Amino acid sequence: MLSIKNLHVTINDKPILKGLTLDINPGEVHAIMGPNGAGKSTLSHVLSGKPGYTVTEGSVTYDGKDLLEMDPEVRAREGVFLAFQYPVEIPGVSNIYLLKAALNAMRKHKGLPEVDAMDFLTIVKSKVKLLQMDEKFLYRAVNEGFSGGEKKRNEILQAAVLEPKLCILDETDSGLDIDALRIVSDGVNSLRAAERSFLMITHYQRLLDYIKPDVVHVLADGKIVKSGGPELALELEEKGYSWLEGQAA
């Protein structure tokens, strides 16, 4: 469903990704680990279409289409969801408004009518429960004044409502205490489905105790330097990244 081939990306002419290749099949959970500065967040930004990045070489094919040709909102409507490392606060826009605007944008893209108001509320409330959030959150401004854990939970809530095909989790575990991590992970696990793939970007192995990946990749200096099963994460936990970084060169 996602095929990244020899991806080279620069920011202000500075190379960040230097030939990254990665294939994700439907239903698979892939984890990308790596040291700071390896290009992990750049990968998530490029996939979601954030401005400011230049692709100098390579390709990204999503569901048989050229992902890089799509505007960010089209990628979202096609089912690509990015859970932000640093979710943005939007004063004056309530969570429920954003959820509805987003859901209707997806439905319109698929040629479906706008969601019925009652149905929408039922869906959203069930997801709120799933993430053990207070319904009051729905009526608060998006992420405004939320704690770190609340913001991350809110990202997963959006994913739960929008039901993406590819869910990119960018450092979703950073800044979470163990309870919040458990809730967020339960939320993510409940979203796992045969047709839904996950790309988890994380610095720590801890997240993978809760969300079991099918494949673990190590990203160092802009490339995947090693891939393996879940046991690779444990090895990384033990040895750190330095033994692999040499292999990037």
Residue numbers at the binding site for another protein (CB under 8 A) = 48-51, 71-73, 75-77, 81-82, 84, 87-88, 90-93, 97-98, 101-102, 104-106, 109, 141, 158, 162
Min CB(185)–another protein separation in Å: 22
Min CB(96)–another protein separation in Å: 11
- Whose Cβ is closer to another protein: residue 38's or residue 168's? 168
Min CB(158)–another protein separation in Å: 7
- Whose Cβ is closer to another protein: residue 48's or residue 202's? 48
Asked if 41 contacts 85 with a C-beta cutoff of 8 angstroms, the reply is: yes
| Beta-bridge mates of residue 200 | 31, 169
Q: b/e per residue, 188-207, with b = 16+ CB within 10 A?
A: beebeeeebbbbbbbbebeb
The overall longest dimension of the chain from CA atoms, in Å, is: 56
Rounded to whole angstroms, the Cα distance separating 190 from 196 reads: 11
Alpha helices per DSSP H over the chain: 40-48, 72-77, 95-109, 117-130, 148-162, 178-191, 206-210, 231-239, 242-245
Rounded to whole angstroms, the Cα distance separating 218 from 233 reads: 9
Min CB(42)–another protein separation in Å: 15
- Whose Cβ is closer to another protein: residue 93's or residue 248's? 93
- Whose Cβ is closer to another protein: residue 64's or residue 92's? 92
- Whose Cβ is closer to another protein: residue 80's or residue 188's? 80
Min CB(109)–another protein separation in Å: 7
